[in-house]
Structure 1
Amino acid sequence: MSVFTSVPESAQGVAVVTVDYPPVNALPVRGWYAVADAVRAAGRDPATRCVVLAAEGRGFNAGVDIKEMRRDSGHTALIGANRGCHAAFSAVYDCEVPVVAAVQGFCLGGGIGLVGNADAIVASEDATFGLPELDRGALGAATHLARLVPQHLMRALYYTSRTVTAAELHAHGSVWQVVPRAELREAALELAREIARKDGTLLRFAKASINGIDPVDVHRSYRFEQGFTFEANLSGLADRIRAGFGTRREEGGT
């Protein structure tokens, strides 16, 4: 289980941050902080002009590790997960250079937070995106889903816990390219290489300026959402919902 950074010889100026937490990339608290640290470090490197955020395995991200939550009789794991997710999402958004997310398979819960804060998304044909939070006793990342789909669709997806395909997001303009799974990494690197051919200092200016004109403060809005997650947990509601989660195949959710 790890998060590691590589610099492909074929992509000068590009750093690839890869998440590998089998079996489904449902991240424990330390995993979210590891993502945050790796993305921030890559962006700070003067030699880096674009970061690709990728994952090993059958899915990009299945959210937080619900099993870790269950092992905690108090609220330490919940607080850690909320802070860890906030750190990882913020690292992607605040990365000094553009971040391209390479998404395969499922992208759920916290995965939406990561890709919603990325600058561009390249996805495989089998990629699906969604927030199953209401089915898992949690709330959050509507902030980031709203960056991928129109407002009313975001609400319907959030309330129903349904997913959308990469092709559907491509039609909405939030996914740059949809490719066969075997071609995903190269397609993401191709876009990153094109970005990395620009001047590194000017790219940093561009990232900061684009973030500065965002209509929504993603940091504050996500923390606002998390407040309701705490309320659901303190009331016992979240525990009752999570009690039936064991029959699900993919352990995750924000």
Structure 2
Amino acid sequence: MERLEFLRVEVAGLVATVTLRRPPVNALSAPMMREIAATFRALGRSTDAAVAVLTADGDRTFCAGADIRESDRRYNRRALLPEESVADLVDPGEVVRDCLFSISGGVLPVIAAVNGAALGAGLALVASCDVVIAAENAVFGLPEIDVGVLGGGRHLQRLVGPFKARELMFSGRRIPAAELYRQGSVATVVPHAELAGAARSLALSMAGKSPLALRLTKQAMNRVEHLPLEEGYRLEQDYTARISRFDDAKEARSAWLEKREPGWKWR
């Protein structure tokens, strides 16, 4: 992987920990978002990791959203900046979508370990993950209405549902992690000092499963999320047929019957 400016990536035990590191609040600039997208795609192409954890340093902010000054320049300019392509001028929102979809549409299950405030595009980053663990001090919100923009509502709906999402978007109010836990959007809320350990423990338990099964399960879950029940279940049956042909599926059954740890072959 190329040298990273805005992230720290550590891989151990088939778990990749991706840490945001653009002080003071991890505001997302275009170069940082491109780096996130490239990192998750590179992890997905390799066999080094089966699961990823997305987190940030510190105890106050996970990600405060898009870099407002840069975003304003990106959406309101009439000429290319030196580092940009024509695509950036024609569709200035592409870099944001590409960043978010590299996580939600990527092949690795991703656990968000939210250490503090996740606001605006930071909330969208969290909602793009598959499982959310939060520190007790974490808060979530879309304050875009306060700075003359909008966005992230569709991602917020994944966490709270359409009516609560409207209330939060219209008001800009922040919602604490405990409230999202009660709604089932956050898997667990822990003291800040225990966040990294809780996220890694969950990631390791997931990484013990067949890495091919994890990837196909994520793909299936993404595809069935908005389908009617009958159509969605039929699609899952198709995925079951696909995965059962792999040697790792046979190994899973043998290991279960023989009461031993499986040995995955990635085939």
Q: What TM-score, normalized by structure 2, do the two folds share?
A: 0.75
Structure 1 counterpart SS, 2:7: strand
63 and 53 in structure 1: CA distance in 2 versus 1, 3 angstrom threshold:
same
Letter aligned with residue 23 of structure 1: P
Identical-residue share of aligned pairs (%):
39
Aligned twin of 1:49: 50
Aligned twin of 1:236: none
Give yes or no for the alignment of 1:5 onto 2:9: yes
Letter aligned with residue 101 of structure 2: S
Letter aligned with residue 62 of structure 1: A
Aligned twin of 1:17: 18
Alignment of 1:69-218 (within 5 A): 69=71, 74=77, 82-215=93-226
Structure 2 spans left out of the alignment, 5+ residues: 82-87, 228-267
Higher relative contact order (CA 8 A, sep 6+): 1
Residue 71 of structure 1, CA deviation: 5.7
CA contact under 8 A between 2:136 and 2:177: conserved in structure 1?
yes
CA contact under 8 A between 1:64 and 1:81: conserved in structure 2?
no
69 and 96 in structure 1: CA distance in 2 versus 1, 3 angstrom threshold:
closer
Q: What TM-score, normalized by structure 1, do the two folds share?
A: 0.79
**More moved, 198-207 vs 72-81:** 72-81
Structure 1 counterpart SS, 2:221: helix
Q: How many residues are matched?
A: 213
Residue 41 of structure 1, CA deviation: 1.4
Q: In 1, Cα distance between the equivalents of 2:55 and 2:92?
A: 20
Aligned twin of 1:244: none
Aligned twin of 1:31: 32
Letter aligned with residue 77 of structure 2: G
Structure 1 counterpart SS, 2:47: coil
CA contact under 8 A between 2:11 and 2:48: conserved in structure 1?
no
135 and 203 in structure 1: CA distance in 2 versus 1, 3 angstrom threshold:
same
Give the alignment's Cα RMSD to 1 decimal: 1.9
Aligned twin of 2:61: 59
Structure 1 counterpart SS, 2:101: helix
